[in-house]
Structure 1
Amino acid sequence: MRAHRFRKSLLVTSSALCAGLVLSACGSGSDGKAEPAGAEGAKTVTIPTAKGEVEVPLKPARVAALDNTSFATLKAFGVKPVAVPKALLPNEGFEDWKNDSSIQDVGTHREPRFEALNAAEPDLIIGGYRFTDHHDKLSKIATTVDVAPSDEAKDGYVNALLTQTETLGTVFGKEAEAKEITGALDKARTDAAAATQGESVFLAVASAGKVDNGASRIGRLAEPLNLKNVLSAEGEDSTSVHNDSGLAPETVAKLNPDWVIMLDRDAAVGTEDGSEAVAAQKIVDGMEAWDKTTFRTKDQVIYLDDDFYLSEGIQAYTTAFTQVSTAFGAAG
């Protein structure tokens, strides 16, 4: 069998979203009756965010998108931003945004270019996730919302992706499109859960030619599945993939997981020292300590999409769950 290759948000109920719409998006018509959400006279909508309820423009014309988990959804909605952190754009599917000089490049969360963002004159800034620490400064430029998914969300990161998508659908009047996107995730997650039967798994991250414990970053993926993680995220102080725990290949070999799910960071952003990136599959195949492990002998390694590290949104998780169900189904 070939190796299988693929890549605090608020959980709100639909009734909560509806309540926000009734309070804020509904205006009064000439006959004094409330207009439905999305009606021509409606100008704003109140949405739940990590900072509480925020009134935002309905169908804003000038949007700065800083949260990389929202990029694919905005593109699916047909939204062209006026500003993005171009270095955080996935390598595939966003060439038009990256090469469009009319879209301001606002740098990264590590070195934000607030002047460029201000020059873009956004009506709305979609912040959060990597840009969470800059919320106050961003809010001085324009209305800023954090609807990003979070591990601290009530029912976890994956469910928070559903909420994020529904909320953005409300803002842009794309409720039908949002429902289609959330439905795809629900189906992929259900199929993946049904395909997993308690097998052991090592959640790994490849970076700088090494493989380390990636449970703090992609444990989100395994939470809804029926898998036994051989290494937990306990003791890891963040979801960073830059940490080097010193995990020895022999340790993984001794744990002998049935499967490995691998995040290849360098495939998305390259190496920090500028050297040529070593593909995760090459690292795995070249690890002598793993020669007799179950996952190597049965070729049971799932490589997440190369851009997973730069996307991490609902479409990325839909793809990942589909990879899991396909791989486990083929393995019998």
Structure 2
Amino acid sequence: MNTLASGLRSAALASGLLLASTLAPAIASAETMDISHASGTTAVEKNPKTVVVYDLSALDTLDALGVDVAGVPDAPMPASLSTFSSDDYEKVGSLFEPDFEAVNALQPDLIIVGGRSQAKYEDLSKIAPTIDLTISNDAFLEGVEDNARTLGDIFGKQDEAEAEIADLEASLDELQSQTADAGSALVLLTTGGKVSAFGPGSRFGDVYDLYGFTPADASLDVGNHGQAVSFEYIMEQNPDWLYVLDRDAAIGRSGEAAEQLLDNELVARTNAWKNDQVIYADGGLLYLASGGIRAQKALADQVITALQE
């Protein structure tokens, strides 16, 4: 009788071990989630511990959500992200070119690319799960908010993400209420002594598409680099507001400042210049991290302040 009972117990134990080994992969897979992104779908571990980020917009959102990262690009940083320039964070290449040896050394659980680093998605995917948070210009606000929710889901920060989204939308609502009667605007980028203009639907079209300003020239090319323009063109468009990005200052390159370049007799004839309605954007945020949830709010708030002055 004891022998029979012992045999039954042994059989039950063996069955239990077999069941546990069968369920182990299912339990492990339950700790991952499929993330759809700009370059496909990736199985990502929930709450990954070691994170490498190449996209500064994603870094801005992660910082707003209170998520720590291990590796970042060696690149100019907006003032709000300046802490990531310190030696506390491993430098894993540039915004465009990864240092694969440095990435491998970190053994990351997750790599995030986007925008400038999108082209390296396939290469980095061979090292660790990688997601591409590139945002399309034709659905920019949706992309900003979707990325915040995606990162909130991955890191268990859903409440924080929704709070950041609500804050951004409140700022945009306030801004749109003020631009309804603010007149026309023209977005300019200066670099190397030259000027380009951007219209609706372009890389810097938020001024029209999100903020609600009437475009001074709705026919502008929506190409990534804008349309080269002259000072005569600016005078002829005669915008009520000028929204200016100094690219050289944004990336730490020496050159003639936008304020000096535009200070001439032709631009001085515009309503914007006459009425001191020239907004010099926070270049670090606009040029390097505009797809971040916190960056978008800060840029909108800057315009709100200018309109109220």
TM range (shorter): 0.7 to 0.9
| Conservation of the 8 A alpha-carbon contact between 1:122 and 1:142 | yes
| Conservation of the 8 A alpha-carbon contact between 1:270 and 1:277 | no
Distance 1:57 1:218 in 2: 34
| Conservation of the 8 A alpha-carbon contact between 2:64 and 2:294 | no
Aligned residue identity for 1:277: G
Partner of 2:188 in structure 1?
Answer: 204
Distance 1:141 1:240 in 2: 32
| Conservation of the 8 A alpha-carbon contact between 1:128 and 1:147 | yes
State the Cα distance separating 1:79 from its structure 2 match: 2.4
Equivalent in 158, 168, 177 of residue 141 of structure 2? 158
Q: Aligned pairs, how many?
A: 278
Higher helix fraction: Structure 1 or Structure 2?
2
Partner of 1:268 in structure 2?
Answer: 250
Partner of 1:281 in structure 2?
Answer: 259
State the Cα distance separating 1:189 from its structure 2 match: 0.9
Change (3 A) 1:111 1:204: same
Aligned residue identity for 2:270: T
TM superposition score normalised by structure 1: 0.77
186-195 or 228-237, which deviates more: 228-237
What is the 5 A alignment of 1:66-81?
66-81=54-69
Partner of 2:170 in structure 1?
Answer: 187
TM-align CA RMSD: 2.3
TM superposition score normalised by structure 2: 0.82
State the Cα distance separating 1:246 from its structure 2 match: 4.0
| Conservation of the 8 A alpha-carbon contact between 1:63 and 1:83 | yes
State the Cα distance separating 1:84 from its structure 2 match: 1.1
Partner of 1:62 in structure 2?
Answer: 50
| Conservation of the 8 A alpha-carbon contact between 1:208 and 1:278 | yes
Runs of 4+, deviation exceeding 4 Å: none
Distance 1:106 1:233 in 2: 41
State the Cα distance separating 1:324 from its structure 2 match: 2.3
Distance 2:231 2:63 in 1: 40
Partner of 1:252 in structure 2?
Answer: 234
Confirm or deny that 1:93 pairs with 2:76: no
Deviations 1:165-220 (A, max 9, x none): 01101111111111111111101111111111251111111212333213332113
| Conservation of the 8 A alpha-carbon contact between 2:76 and 2:252 | no
Distance 1:316 1:258 in 2: 25
Matched residue of 1:291: which SS? helix
Aligned residue identity for 1:300: Q
Higher RCO structure, 1 or 2 (CA under 8 Å, sep 6+): 1
Specify the structure having the higher radius of gyration (Cα): 2
**Runs of 5+ in structure 1 lacking a partner?**
1-40
Percent of pairs identical after alignment? 33
**Runs of 5+ in structure 2 lacking a partner?**
1-28
Distance 2:60 2:212 in 1: 28
Equivalent in 11, 16, 33 of residue 45 of structure 1? 33
Equivalent in 261, 274, 290 of residue 297 of structure 1? 274
Aligned residue identity for 1:45: M
State the Cα distance separating 1:42 from its structure 2 match: 5.5
Distance 1:213 1:191 in 2: 26
Partner of 1:321 in structure 2?
Answer: 300
Matched residue of 2:130: which SS? strand
| Conservation of the 8 A alpha-carbon contact between 1:47 and 1:56 | yes
Partner of 1:37 in structure 2?
Answer: none
Distance 2:53 2:219 in 1: 30
Change (3 A) 1:57 1:200: same
Distance 2:76 2:246 in 1: 15
Equivalent in 139, 151, 160 of residue 177 of structure 1? 160
Change (3 A) 1:220 1:76: same
Distance 2:306 2:205 in 1: 18
Change (3 A) 1:110 1:45: closer
Change (3 A) 1:69 1:233: farther
